[in-house]
Amino acid sequence: GIPRRGIRGNFVPPIRSNGGNVGNTTSRIAGKSDDALDDSTKKCLEMLYGPDGELPEKLRNLEPRLIEHISNEIMERDPNVRWDDIAGLEHAKKCVTEMVIWPLLRPDIFKGCRSPGRGLLLFGPPGTGKTMIGKAIAGEAKATFFYISASSLTSKWIGEGEKLVRALFGVASCRQPAVIFVDEIDSLLSQRKSEGEHESSRRLKTQFLIEMEGFDSGSEQILLIGATNRPQELDEAARRRLTKRLYIPLPSSEARAWIIRNLLEKDGLFKLSKEDIDAICKLTEGYSGSDMKNLVKDASMGPLREALRQGIEITKLKKEDMKPVTLKDFEDALQEVRPSVSLNELGTYDEWNKQFGSLA
């Protein structure tokens, strides 16, 4: 079978079944006999054991079902995104490499004066590659990637968000180096103190800041990445902890061209001329990366629709019956797929970037 991996990917000897380390430890944390835990919970717990088969101290007071949720839903073993998958954003990639990836790879060099910030904010319009960058960081730095959407903490985990946050940071610290990516971080660390701000969401925010403080001061190799398309909602405390703040803008014309080519080439559908590409880039000013993806998807349906219009049945359709994707297909798709970000919003990002962004 697949060798079991422990913290930092080192080999973990199989847990002894005589003596029953797993059983003992899980019972200790769950207050249940080992039999009362289902298999996947056991598996998650096992994965987090140290080489001695003992559950790390930090996890002992956490509920197994939360650990299980984190291991199954939040932790990604192989995020599978590389720098080369991300179009444009050269500047952001360079900053992130220096600020984040090198320190994660070489903690011995990046200490003292060189010790890195533990909080990074990626802000900008939706669909511009912020999540991709988070995943790529984890991939390039060989770190465990944890993805959580802050709005799910407040909506899905009502009343339990605090516990989940604690469990999240606990598991992350057992799986170092780790990258915790918090999407829509504004909804967690918002400055808006609405009249009816729930006690629970205030507590959640406090808990979160405490956890951040905890690993910020220590020697732990955990990086927190917050992503937001509403940076102006973040309060001073949040900004202070997210020391690096990178603007992730809409893709340039070159980046849009790259996305089109990359997606079509993957499927062997790329036959556009340089002129066609230039024309499409002109027409897609203001489109985000994710708008571009949707546009390519729609355009790539063109040749299929065309073939069906000519009376070929879908069940009898051969690949050769379909023409390559053309400029006309893109022009049609442009009618369907509109840009999702308004000029107005872009102004807000520029302003916030001038005031709080890390590198102008």
Task: Examine residue 86 and tell whether it contacts ligand ADP (CB under 6 A).
Answer: yes
Q: What angle do CA 51, 55, 61 make, to 5 degrees?
A: 165
User: For residues 235 and 101, what is the distance between their CA atoms, to the nearest angstrom?
Assistant: 27
Give the closest residue to 121 by CA, choosing from 356, 344, 313, 322: 356
Residues 36-65, one symbol each (x = binds ligand ADP by CB under 6 A, - = not), give ------------------------------
- For residues 170 and 231, which CB has a smaller minimum distance to ligand ADP in the complex? 231
Number of residues that bind ligand ADP (CB under 6 A): 18
What are the strands of the beta sheet with 119-123, ordered from one edge? 75-76, 144-149, 178-183, 222-228, 119-123, 244-247
Say how many Å lie between the first and final Cα of the chain, rounded.
50
Q: Which of 22, 212, 238, 259 is close enough to bind ligand ADP by CB under 6 A?
A: 259
Amino acid letter for position 266: K
Task: Indicate the residue whose CB is closest to ligand ADP.
Answer: 289
- Residue 295 tokens, joined: 């546009």
- Residue 211 tokens, joined: 């956890």
- For residues 44 and 180, which CB has a smaller minimum distance to ligand ADP in the complex? 180
Q: Cβ 143 to ligand ADP, closest distance in Å?
A: 18
- Whether the CB-CB separation of 79 and 180 falls below 8 Å is answered with no
Element (H, E) at 27: helix 21-30
Task: Examine residue 231 and tell whether it contacts ligand ADP (CB under 6 A).
Answer: no
- For residues 176 and 290, which CB has a smaller minimum distance to ligand ADP in the complex? 290
- For residues 87 and 153, which CB has a smaller minimum distance to ligand ADP in the complex? 87
Phi and psi for 280 in degrees, rounded to 5? Answer: -65, -40
Element (H, E) at 142: none
- For residues 127 and 170, which CB has a smaller minimum distance to ligand ADP in the complex? 127
Task: Examine residue 172 and tell whether it contacts ligand ADP (CB under 6 A).
Answer: no
Task: Examine residue 87 and tell whether it contacts ligand ADP (CB under 6 A).
Answer: yes
Task: Examine residue 290 and tell whether it contacts ligand ADP (CB under 6 A).
Answer: yes
User: For residues 260 and 280, what is the distance between their CA atoms, to the nearest angstrom?
Assistant: 9
Q: Which of 15, 148, 174, 227 is close enough to bind ligand ADP by CB under 6 A?
A: 227
Q: Cβ 186 to ligand ADP, closest distance in Å?
A: 13
Residues 130-169 that bind ligand ADP (CB under 6 A): 130-132
Q: Which of 103, 129, 177, 231 is close enough to bind ligand ADP by CB under 6 A?
A: 129
Task: Examine residue 30 and tell whether it contacts ligand ADP (CB under 6 A).
Answer: no
Q: Which of 74, 89, 96, 307 is close enough to bind ligand ADP by CB under 6 A?
A: 89
Alpha-carbon torsion 337, 343, 344, 346, what sign?
Answer: positive
Residues 97-126 that bind ligand ADP (CB under 6 A): 126
Give the closest residue to 37 by CA, choosing from 56, 14, 55: 55
Residue 228 bridge partners (DSSP)? 123
Task: Examine residue 226 and tell whether it contacts ligand ADP (CB under 6 A).
Answer: no
Residue ranges binding ligand ADP (CB under 6 A): 86-89, 126-132, 227, 251, 255, 259, 289-290, 293
